[in-house]
Every structure is written in C-alpha cells, then in structure tokens.
A and B are shown apart, each in its own frame.
Chain A
Amino acid sequence: MTFLSALLAAEPAHEAAKAATHAAPAAAESHGPVGDIITLFGSFGVDGPHLLVQLINFAILAFILHRFAIKPALGQMEERNRLIEKGLADAQAATQRLAEAQKASEAKLNAASDEAAKILADARNSAKAAVEAAKAEASAAQAEVVAKAKAAIEADRVKMLAEVRGEVSRLVVETAAKVLEQQLDDATRGRLNEAAVKQLAR
C-alpha cells in the first residue's frame, strides 16, 4: 500500500517540491520566521501535502503492522515470556521440591541412622545381657558340678573309711576267733558253758 501511495504521489510531489523550492523564498519573504522554516523544509524536499500523504500512509502501515505483525509477535512474545516464566517458576518449584525432597530424605536418612544406631545399641545390650546370663549360668553349673564332685569325693571317702574300718574289724575278729579257737581248751570251754548256763538261769 505504501508503494502504491508512493506511485500515486510521486509526480505531484515532485512538481510540488519544485514549486515549493521556488515558492519558498517568496513565502519566507512574505511570512517571517514561520515562512523561513517552511522554506527550510522545502529546501529539503518536504512539503505539506506530500507529508500529509506520507503520514497517512505511515499510519496505515503502522496500523497494519501493529494489527497483523507487531501485535501477534507481541502476543507470541508474551506467550513465550509466559511460558518461560512458567518454566522458570516450574524450575524454581522443582528446585524447591528437590530441596524439600532432599531435606526430607536427609531427615529420613538421619532418622534411619538414629534408628539403626538404636537397634545396634539394643542388640549390643541384648548380646551383653545374654553373655552375662550365659556366664552366670555357666558359673552356677560349674559350682554345682564342683559341689557334686566334692559330695561324691566325701561320700567315697566315708565309704572307703567304712570299708577299711569294716575290713580291719573283720580281720581283728577273725584273728581273735582263731586265737580263741587255738587257745581255748575243753576245760576252759566247759567252765564258760557253766557260766553261760548260770547267766541264762538268771
């Protein structure tokens, strides 16, 4: 559209520029400082109608650009910015969740470590108690065995003494019997029999 406007306005603008160039000194001469400015713009090829057309063209171009290029581009940029911000927010949230997860896992790890330490301590205490109980039981069993052995030894000793005493007594009695059998004659036995009869009679 700008190009079409430029074609339509090219010839009149060129003539207008020439007229302006020639008319500028006259205008300057006739309108004072404003005329001087117009004359100056005219010396640069700027004239009013041409400028107006250009402004209209520019406005149309700006509107079209704004409507079909800039606005969609801005929308896309805004959408992209939104997506980026969302991504950043998600990343931040993910980072935060990661940190929280790490913190939670660390807490769980600490708790597990504490629990493991407690279990280990309990196990050690249990093992120590079991060892102590086993020691006590072993000591009791040992004492019982020693006591039984002492009792058995004492019983054997008493039994042996009794056997020895019985054997000695048996030997003494057997010896006495043999001596008596050899030493007692019938006369003595007769007297002993009479004494026994008297004892029975009493």
Chain B
Amino acid sequence: MSAASVRAEAKRLLALSLEGGAVSSDRVGAVLAALAKSRSAHQLRPLLRAYLVNVRRELARGEARIEHAGPLAQSDADAIAAHFTKALGRPVRPVARRNDALLAGFRVRVADDVTDLSAALRLANLAKSLS
C-alpha cells in the first residue's frame, strides 16, 4: 500500500470509530478486531500507526487541556470546557494540570488551538514590546 492509500484507509477507520462525533472505545475495539482478522501483520503495521495518529488527534480535539497556576476549581474547568464546546460545536471535556510557571491564570489547548490567559504570557509580551 502506498502512503496515500494508508492515510485514506486510516481516515476511513477513524470515521468508523466515531459515535456521536466522539471516539468510542467500543467501536475502536471492533475496528481493531476486524483489522486483525482481515489483514496480515506486514500490511497492518503502517495502517495501525496512521490509525493511532488519527485517533490521538481526534481525542485531542475533544479535550481542553488546561494548564493553570494555583488552584482551579472544577466549576471553573467545566466553565472553560463549556466555552470551547460552544465555540467549536463539538463536545469538549476538561483535562486540568497545575503549572505554577504561568504565575497566574491559565492556558487552554484544544487540538491545535491555544488560548493563553496567563500572567507569564503577559510578561513575555511586555518584554517583547520593551526590547
């Protein structure tokens, strides 16, 4: 299989793995079981690699990875996730992680989009404007 056909096949497998717009673990298991039966190991390796990348990307599209300085209440994390769910038009769940290097505020990453409301970024912008 060529690289282009592998990517197309992985994209088709990802579409089969979605349920209600989100990745379903049951469907992923079914897809993998079907692949194990129908393909040889030699053909399966590049296809599974591409499928894994697609699944990770899709899972990241449904996560709001929140880095915050200091404590962040769960209600605030849910509010952030609700904001992105509304903005992106798909369900987004919060995944919070403390990072005091941000000094204050938080930084949210949804797939490739980053929203930074931290004091560290403001100080960095200040330093850039002064230099």
- Complex: A201 Cα to B68 Cα, angstroms: 16
Query: Nearest Cβ in chain A — how far from B126, in angstroms?
Result: 6
Say what secondary structure dominates the interface of chain A. helix
Residues of A within 8 A of B83 (CB): 200-201
Chain A neighbourhood of B79, CB < 8 A: 197, 200-201
Provide the A158-202 mask, 1 if CB < 8 A to any CB of B, else 0.
000010011011101100110011001010111011101101110
Assembled-state Cα–Cα distance A80/B27 (Å): 155
B104 and A177 form a contact (CB under 8 A): no
B residues in contact with A162, CB < 8 Å:
131
Residues of the A chain whose Cβ atoms lie less than 8 Å from the Cβ of B71: 186, 189-190, 193
Binds A, one of B1-9, B28-36, B115-123: B115-123
Residue of B nearest to A195 (CB): B105
Contact A173 B105 (CB under 8 A): no
Q: Which residues of B contact A193 (CB under 8 A)?
A: 68-73, 76, 104-106
How far in angstroms is the closest Cβ of chain B from A4? Answer: 158
Chain A contact residue count (CB 8 A cutoff): 25
Q: Are B119 and A192 in contact (CB under 8 A)?
A: yes
Judge whether A172 and B103 touch: CB under 8 Å: no
Cβ-defined contact, A200 with B123, below 8 A: no
Give Cα A176–Cα B124 distance, bound, in whole angstroms.
Answer: 11
Cα–Cα, bound, A173→B128 (Å): 10
Residues on B with C-beta less than 8 A from A170 are 127, 131
A186 contact from B70, B80, B115, Cβ within 8 A: B70
Partner of B130, one of A172, A190, A200: A172
22 contacts between A and B (CB under 8 A): A165-B130, A166-B127, A166-B130, A169-B126, A169-B127, A169-B128, A172-B130, A173-B123, A180-B123, A186-B71, A188-B70, A190-B71, A192-B70, A193-B69, A193-B70, A193-B105, A194-B76, A196-B105, A196-B117, A200-B79, A200-B108, A201-B83
